[in-house]
Amino acid sequence: MGKWRSPKLWITLASLTLIGVALVQQSAQLRQQSLDSQGWWWLLLGLGLTWLSILINGLAWRVVLGWLGPVPEDLAVVPLFVRSNLLKYLPGGIWHLVERVRLLRPSMGGGPALAGVILDPLLIVAASGLMLMAGGWQNGLVLLAPIPALLLLPRWREPILQGLERSKAAQLQMAGDQPLEIEGSGRSGYPWSPLAAELTFVMCRFSGFLCCVQAFNLAQPAPSQWLSAFGLAYAVGLVVPGAPGGLGVFEATLLLRLGGGVAEAPLLAVVLSYRLISTLADVLAVGSFRADRSIGGWLARRN
């Protein structure tokens, strides 16, 4: 019964209901949406950029781990990140974290491993929040933009991080992992380099989304408004990960934020196409690493 009382679950169900109602109401208009050859090329470019963003996210995570402490040179951080990324789609939303902690722990210790997997999304939320500034005043919404970044200051970051560590450690133990140390980051400074790395990731991610906007010829609003709305939706999708991969929450936030200024049917087409290419990019990223490993092994045997 406890899971049915979870606010995250109800928010996810409400988000999916909102999208479902919009799909029913706009079904006729959605059928009228079509892509010309240029639109398909835009979607292909969006797929490539979204795939690239996953690799950049893995590199950014490498920067996060390096900020926390020494990372063994033989630890393949980016392949680990990409391989485990698909596990976020499994029910529960923690299996990618379980896999990362399990593989990091022997090399870095349980405390830094746990801090590393939790600090990554916190930095992404901070980077996404900063993108809100691109949209201007927005009836005061811009005032929220710096709050996640300010919470990364040591006096607030460490209590928040340790609280999240206790919560996730309990979940990981229920999933069969061993007890983990609650240590926080162990750093007194501000994570400037990890935040810059995550901001690069989010901007690359947004470029893939903007390709979907271009594919359906949505001239309004301006790119800065799309950037602001994307940053808000991406942050909310991470904070409320009730569904696998944030499904529904990201899309519903975009619909609520932009629904008044953008025709709903094209906007639905954009968010649905972006969900499709982002999921496909996750699969392709894993496939590319496996293909690279297979080709490398084949060449080694040939030599």
> pLDDT (tens digit, 9 = 90+) per residue, 79-108?
999 999 988 888 777 888 889 999 999 989
Who has greater pLDDT, 33 or 190? 190
Q: Which ranges constitute the DSSP H helices of the chain?
A: 7-25, 27-32, 37-68, 77-85, 95-108, 110-130, 147-150, 154-174, 192-215, 223-239, 249-258, 264-302
Instruction: State the CB neighbour count (10 A cutoff) for residue 302.
Output: 6
Answer whether residue 22 shows pLDDT above 90.
no
Measuring CA to CA, which residue among 206, 216, 219 is closest to residue 254? 206
Q: What is the mean pLDDT of residues 6-27?
A: 68
Contact 35, 218 (CB under 8 A): no
**Residue 156 belongs to some domain of the structure:** yes
pLDDT for the residue numbered 11: 63
Instruction: Give me the count of residues in the chain.
Output: 303
**Residue 22 belongs to some domain of the structure:** no
Q: Hey, CA dihedral for 81, 84, 86, 92, is it positive or negative? A: negative
The rounded distance, in Å, linking the Cα atoms of 84 and 87 is: 5
Total structural domains in the chain?
Answer: 1
The rounded distance, in Å, linking the Cα atoms of 152 and 273 is: 33
**pTM to 2 decimals?**
0.91
**pLDDT tens sequence across 252-269:** 899 889 977 888 888 999
Q: What is the DSSP string of 92-113?
A: TS-HHHHHHHHHHHHHH-HHHH
Q: How confident is the model at residue 4 (pLDDT cuts 50, 70, 90)?
A: very low
**pLDDT tens sequence across 212-243:** 999 998 878 899 999 999 999 999 988 876 56
The rounded distance, in Å, linking the Cα atoms of 4 and 266 is: 34
Measuring CA to CA, which residue among 288, 295, 296 is closest to residue 86? 288
Amino acid at 96: H
**Residue 30 belongs to some domain of the structure:** no
Q: How confident is the model at residue 15 (pLDDT cuts 50, 70, 90)?
A: low
Answer whether residue 2 shows pLDDT above 70.
no
pLDDT for the residue numbered 172: 82
Largest Cα span, the chain: 65
- Residue 6 has what DSSP assignment? -
Q: How confident is the model at residue 179 (pLDDT cuts 50, 70, 90)?
A: confident
Answer whether residue 247 shows pLDDT above 80.
no
Answer whether residue 17 shows pLDDT above 50.
yes
pLDDT for the residue numbered 277: 94
User: What is the rounded average pLDDT for all residues in the chain?
Assistant: 87
- Residue 179 has what DSSP assignment? P
For residue 223, give the 3-state DSSP assignment: helix
Amino acid at 207: S
**Residue 23 belongs to some domain of the structure:** no
Q: Which domain does 157 fall in, by range?
A: 36-255+263-286
Q: Which range (26-30, 156-160, 246-250, 276-280) has the least confidence? A: 26-30
Helices 264-302, 249-258: crossing angle, 10 deg rounding: 140
